[in-house]
């Protein structure tokens, strides 16, 4: 840091900024950083009170656990399927709503509404729809088709993916709309004059200049995919059907059984994987920015 940067940090504006940031920084440190650091420490011990250092034994036990393998596999499958689908659908909606359409504002509002609906209300609606005696099964029964216990079948993952997309598509759509409207219209006008088709404009202009927004949306979507535990827990309980038994279920059950070592080890591994994804995405964005410059 040179003298100019140091004076900016210590100047009047810098001091004022630090004063405003201090309460949040203290709260983040007390309630997030210190507990997380303590969790990492406990993951290398055999007990939370007076425990001794056991190295990576807890991680070895975790990686040999069938329950952890099942939870990690289901989480990976869910994220790998739901995030790309969410990106494709939300980007398609953003491209559609970026045009002059009738009832455009009404459509935007309708897709955003799931964000403001309480989780309990969402779960109640989805239980009514997917329950054994719910709306979907009643309709299937009226067509002389067999009823399906959706949350206790192979279709449980599909229900969860549908719920995740329904809840998050509006938020991603708004982010993509903001990115689309930031692209100068002169680029498209020049491309049309040169005879570029709509597809070429989409590939060489829209997707290229939407890359920073795309990186952010992918990152947010991956993080939100790890938050689907709330809905799954309310829908199917502590031990749901095997197809929707997620990492958060595993950690939640370890907490109730007071197996803090496996809980903290699993949490550390999950955070490590998320950080790796974040670093990869940020690296891609930095390379893109360097290329554009």
C-alpha dihedral (248, 85, 92, 284), degrees to nearest 10: 80
Higher pLDDT, 70 or 240: 70
Map residue 65 onto helix, strand or coil. coil
Instruction: Round the average pLDDT of the chain to a whole number and report it.
Output: 82
What is the rounded radius of gyration, in angstroms, for the C-alpha atoms of the chain? 24
pLDDT, tens only, 175-206: 999 888 888 888 888 888 888 888 888 888 88
Q: Please give the backbone phi and psi of residue 53, each rounded to the nearest 5 degrees, phi first.
A: -70, 130
Cα-based angle 96, 97, 99 (whole degrees, multiple of 5): 80
Task: Give the predicted TM-score (pTM) of the model.
Answer: 0.80
Residues 112 and 176: their CA atoms lie apart, in Å, by 13
pLDDT, tens only, 107-120: 777 777 777 777 77
Distances in Å between the Cα of 102 and the Cα atoms of 98, 99, 107, 110 are: 12, 10, 9, 14
Residues 185 and 132: their CA atoms lie apart, in Å, by 52
50: left (phi over 0), alpha (psi -120 to 50) or beta: left
Percent of the chain with pLDDT over 70: 94
| DSSP characters over 73-110 | HHHHHHHHHHHHHHHHHHHHHHHHHTS--TTHHHHHHH
Residues 269 and 61: their CA atoms lie apart, in Å, by 13
Counted residue by residue, the chain has a size of 293
Q: Scanning the structure block, which residue is given the tokens 């210190």? A: 34
Residues 125 and 130: their CA atoms lie apart, in Å, by 9
**Residue 106 pLDDT:** 74
Closest CA to 65 of 261, 204, 215: 261
pLDDT band at 3 (very low <50, low <70, confident <90, very high): low
Please tell me the class of the 62-292 domain: mainly alpha
Q: Please give the backbone phi and psi of residue 45, each rounded to the nearest 5 degrees, phi first.
A: -120, 170
Map residue 45 onto helix, strand or coil. strand
Q: Which two tokens stand for residue 7?
A: 């004076």
**Residue 11 pLDDT:** 59
150: left (phi over 0), alpha (psi -120 to 50) or beta: alpha
Residues 31 and 28: their CA atoms lie apart, in Å, by 5
**Residue 191 pLDDT:** 85
Inform me whether the pLDDT recorded for 217 exceeds 80.
Answer: yes
**Residue 193 pLDDT:** 86
**Residue 81 pLDDT:** 92
Residues 249 and 226: their CA atoms lie apart, in Å, by 11
HSE, side-chain direction, 13 A CA sphere, residue 132: 4
Inform me whether the pLDDT recorded for 125 exceeds 70.
Answer: yes
Average pLDDT in the 44-65 region?
81
**Residue 2 pLDDT:** 55
Region of poorest pLDDT, from 78-82, 93-97, 130-134, 281-285 = 130-134
Q: Scanning the structure block, which residue is given the tokens 């609606």? A: 125
């Amino acid at each position: 840091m040179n003298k100019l940067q140091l004076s900016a940090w210590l100047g009047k504006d810098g001091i004022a900024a630090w004063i405003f940031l201090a309460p949040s920084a203290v709260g983040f440190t007390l309630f997030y950083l210190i507990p997380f650091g303590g969790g990492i420490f406990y993951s290398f011990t055999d007990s939370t009170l007076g425990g001794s250092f056991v190295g990576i034994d807890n991680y070895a036990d975790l990686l040999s656990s069938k329950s952890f393998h099942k939870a990690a596999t289901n989480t990976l499958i869910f994220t790998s399927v739901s995030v790309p689908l969410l990106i494709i659908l939300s980007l398609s909606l953003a491209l559609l709503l970026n045009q002059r359409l009738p009832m455009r504002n009404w459509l935007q509002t309708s897709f955003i509404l799931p964000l403001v609906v309480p989780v309990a209300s969402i779960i109640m609606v989805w239980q009514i729809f997917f329950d054994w005696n719910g709306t979907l099964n009643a309709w299937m029964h009226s067509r002389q088709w067999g009823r399906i216990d959706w949350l206790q079948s192979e279709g449980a993952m599909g229900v969860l993916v549908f719920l995740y997309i329904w809840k998050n598509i509006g938020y991603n759509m708004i982010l993509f709309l903001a990115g689309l409207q930031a692209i100068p219209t002169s680029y498209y006008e020049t491309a049309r004059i040169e005879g570029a088709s709509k597809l070429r404009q989409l590939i060489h202009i829209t997707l290229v200049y939407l890359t920073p927004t795309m990186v952010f949306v992918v990152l947010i979507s991956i993080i939100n995919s790890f938050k689907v535990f709330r809905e799954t827990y309310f829908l199917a309980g502590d031990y749901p059907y095997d197809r929707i038994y997620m990492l958060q279920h595993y950690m939640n059950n370890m907490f109730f059984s007071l197996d803090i070592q496996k809980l903290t080890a699993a949490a550390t591994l999950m955070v490590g994987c998320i950080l790796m994804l974040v670093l990869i995405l940020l690296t891609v964005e930095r390379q893109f920015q360097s290329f554009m410059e």
